[in-house]
């Protein structure tokens, strides 16, 4: 790409149809008139008007060592058409639609089946998790909830300017699985948690995260000296989110993500879980059976409890189901393995987890539970 080449986008007839340009990874929603560009070369700024864009925001991301351009599409073209044109004229630049991401949760009534009990870890020893640093990319957090009293939690929101943070129930629930008090999750109660929110309410009142928000959140988390980041979210294979995952992986952070709640017959992959540097987690019930809602696919690696897990939510507690709650249990497994077992990288982590599965006589991987149901002995 160079500033000498620009694309004129005045004639819609010059471009393929939106349906022909839709990729398999575009199954999820996206912002209608927005486009994201990462690290354009010198001279790109002057070419933006001829490309049919105007600038919404330019963000320098120090941890990523990148610059993110958030652009508005003024040409009237569909974002898929804009991506096609941009790839044609600027093939070496990472750019994509501003995809939406959603949460992987289902809500139920109360119970006492919280995450540490679901993992068969029992009562934690004094100081359990001390020195461990974890992060989440999720929804908002109720920092005043009793589950986090005396806990070491840092919270920052990357929701869209001018829009309200959506429900904080999901982010609060996932955080409580990791570090909540004795009745709220309590996996690693003395660990430090850096929690981020990337969700806001869109014009229809729905809870949605953007690719930009996820990119910004991962950039911030990379500065927090973390061992593990959990993503209980899912969406399209956005190129910028992929780059964020690659940068975090290169930093040595273990990345865990929920596989999705689209059921065993789905053909829809969920990202970031399906990116190769991420460990994708399906959900099982207390009898080590894959949950009926849990997504299946060639990216699923392991299964963990994710059915009727009691978690903290604003105003009290709630029984939650979803791969959203299996994923942080495995994030705690992974963080404990780094601290107490000396696991140092992703390959070692995958090998360690494979040694701690109960596959019920099955020696091969399958698309429903991956390598099997995780049973990790409590480290503390």
Instruction: Write down the catalytic residue from 176, 294, 324, 369.
Output: 324
- What pLDDT, on the 0 to 100 scale, is given for residue 227? 98
Q: Rounded to whole angstroms, how far apart are CA atoms 332 and 74?
A: 45
Cis check: omega of the bond before 272, within 30 degrees of 0 = yes
| Alpha carbon 193 to its chain's center | 15
- What the chain holds in terms of domains, given with CATH numbers, is 12-99 (3.30.70), 102-374 (3.40.50.200)
- What pLDDT, on the 0 to 100 scale, is given for residue 16? 58
- What pLDDT, on the 0 to 100 scale, is given for residue 17? 55
- What pLDDT, on the 0 to 100 scale, is given for residue 116? 86
Q: Is 170 a catalytic residue?
A: yes
Q: Is 324 a catalytic residue?
A: yes
- What pLDDT, on the 0 to 100 scale, is given for residue 19? 56
Other Cβ atoms less than 10 A from the Cβ of 146: the count is: 15
- What pLDDT, on the 0 to 100 scale, is given for residue 238? 95
- What pLDDT, on the 0 to 100 scale, is given for residue 23? 56
What tens-digit pLDDT sequence spans the chain (380 residues)?
333 333 444 444 455 555 555 554 555 577 778 899 999 888 787 777 777 888 899 999 999 999 999 988 888 788 888 888 888 888 899 989 888 887 766 544 434 467 888 888 988 999 999 999 999 999 999 999 999 999 999 999 999 887 888 889 999 999 999 999 888 888 999 999 999 999 998 777 778 899 999 999 999 999 999 999 999 999 999 999 999 999 999 999 999 999 999 999 998 899 999 999 999 999 999 888 999 999 999 999 999 999 999 999 999 998 999 999 999 999 999 999 999 999 999 999 999 999 999 765 456 899 999 999 999 999 99
Torsion of CA 328, 326, 270, 67, to 10 degrees: 0
- What pLDDT, on the 0 to 100 scale, is given for residue 206? 79
- What pLDDT, on the 0 to 100 scale, is given for residue 4? 34
Q: Are 131 and 339 in contact (CB under 8 A)?
A: yes
- What pLDDT, on the 0 to 100 scale, is given for residue 27? 54
Q: Are 294 and 303 in contact (CB under 8 A)?
A: yes
Q: Rounded to whole angstroms, how far apart are CA atoms 94 and 332?
A: 32
- What pLDDT, on the 0 to 100 scale, is given for residue 204? 76
- What pLDDT, on the 0 to 100 scale, is given for residue 36? 92
Instruction: Write down the catalytic residue from 138, 176, 207, 327.
Output: 138
Record the pTM: 0.86
Torsion of CA 189, 195, 199, 200, to 10 degrees: 100
Query: Taken in order 72, 74, 78, 83, is the CA torsion positive or negative?
Result: negative
Instruction: Write down the catalytic residue from 77, 86, 145, 170.
Output: 170
Given phi > 0 = left and psi -120 to 50 = alpha, else beta, which region is 244?
Answer: alpha
- What pLDDT, on the 0 to 100 scale, is given for residue 208? 86
- What pLDDT, on the 0 to 100 scale, is given for residue 184? 82
Q: Is 375 a catalytic residue?
A: no
């Amino acid at each position: 790409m160079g500033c000498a080449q620009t694309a004129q986008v005045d004639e819609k007839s010059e471009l393929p149809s939106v349906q022909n340009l839709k990729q398999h990874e575009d199954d999820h929603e996206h912002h209608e008139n927005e486009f994201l560009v990462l690290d354009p070369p010198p001279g790109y700024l002057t070419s933006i008007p001829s490309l049919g864009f105007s600038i919404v925001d330019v963000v320098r991301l120090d941890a990523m060592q990148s610059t993110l351009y958030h652009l508005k599409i003024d040409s009237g073209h569909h974002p898929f058409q804009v991506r096609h044109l941009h790839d044609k004229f600027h093939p070496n630049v990472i750019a994509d639609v501003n995809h939406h991401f959603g949460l992987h949760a289902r809500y139920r009534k109360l119970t006492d089946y919280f995450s540490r009990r679901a993992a068969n870890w029992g009562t934690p020893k004094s100081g359990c998790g001390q020195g461990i640093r974890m992060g989440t990319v999720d929804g908002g957090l109720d920092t005043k909830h009793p589950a986090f009293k005396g806990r070491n939690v840092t919270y920052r929101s990357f929701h869209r300017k001018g829009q309200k943070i959506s429900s904080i129930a999901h982010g609060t629930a996932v955080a409580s699985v990791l570090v909540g008090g004795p009745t709220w999750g309590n996996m690693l109660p003395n660990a430090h948690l850096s929690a981020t929110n990337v969700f806001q309410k869109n014009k229809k009142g729905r809870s949605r995260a953007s690719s930009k928000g996820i990119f910004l959140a991962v950039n911030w988390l990379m500065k927090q000296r973390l061992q593990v980041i959990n993503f209980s979210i899912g969406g399209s294979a956005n190129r910028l989110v992929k780059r964020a995952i690659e940068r975090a992986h290169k930093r040595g952070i273990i990345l865990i993500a929920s596989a999705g709640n689209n059921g065993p017959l789905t053909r829809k992959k969920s990202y970031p879980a399906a990116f190769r540097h991420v460990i994708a987690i399906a959900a099982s019930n207390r009898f080590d059976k894959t949950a009926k809602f849990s997504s299946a696919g060639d990216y699923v690696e392991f299964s963990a409890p994710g059915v009727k897990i009691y978690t903290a939510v604003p105003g009290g507690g709630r029984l939650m189901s979803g791969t959203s709650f299996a994923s942080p249990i495995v994030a705690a497994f992974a963080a404990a393995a780094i601290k107490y077992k000396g696991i140092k990288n992703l390959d070692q982590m995958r090998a360690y987890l494979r040694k701690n599965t109960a596959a019920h006589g099955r020696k091969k991987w399958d698309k429903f539970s991956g390598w099997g149901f995780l049973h990790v002995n409590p480290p503390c």
